[in-house]
Amino acid sequence: QVQLVESGGGSVQSGGSLRLSCVVSGNTATQRCMAWFRQGTGKEREGVAYISHYGGAVYADSVYGRFTISQDNAKNILYLQMNSLKREDTAVYYCAARLACTSLSYGDTLSAASYNDWGQGTQVTVSS
């Protein structure tokens, strides 16, 4: 099990950028794959971006070309660079982690049910 702590959220105008970070602590010796999710008010939690331990990434259509997921394996930090932000990107953003990444199918990479460990979330608010 690992502990995940997100930071970097805030308020930004439409078209602006933010970079979220997620620090991983605890059992970091075990390889894992990670993802970012978000949940807007009154909405279901949705997958935003996924990254394998080796750097392969998957993005939701809604953020493709605007968001970039990356990781620093040496520092155990996951990032989400968000550019060209839109009002509809407003949400609480969560990072998530799971072991057994080889058994994760492509279709499940952005499914919340695939992940065991979650952070507490960081709020992102985009205004016009």
pLDDT score, position 24: 94
Report the distance separating Cα 115 and Cα 14, nearest Å. Answer: 30
- Position 23 scores a pLDDT of 96
Residue 88 confidence (pLDDT): 97
Q: What is the per-residue pLDDT across 30-49, written as a single tens digit (0 to 9) for each?
A: 778 999 999 999 999 999 99
The reported pLDDT for the residue numbered 26 is 87
Residue numbers of the chain with a pLDDT score lower than 70: none
Q: Which residues contact 117 (CB under 8 A, 6 or more apart)?
A: 1, 2, 3, 4, 96, 97, 98
Q: What confidence score (pLDDT) does residue 101 get?
A: 84
CA distances from 8 to 35, 54, 98, 109, 113 (A): 16, 24, 22, 23, 25
Within a 13 Å sphere around the CA of 107, how many CA atoms are in the beta-carbon half? 0
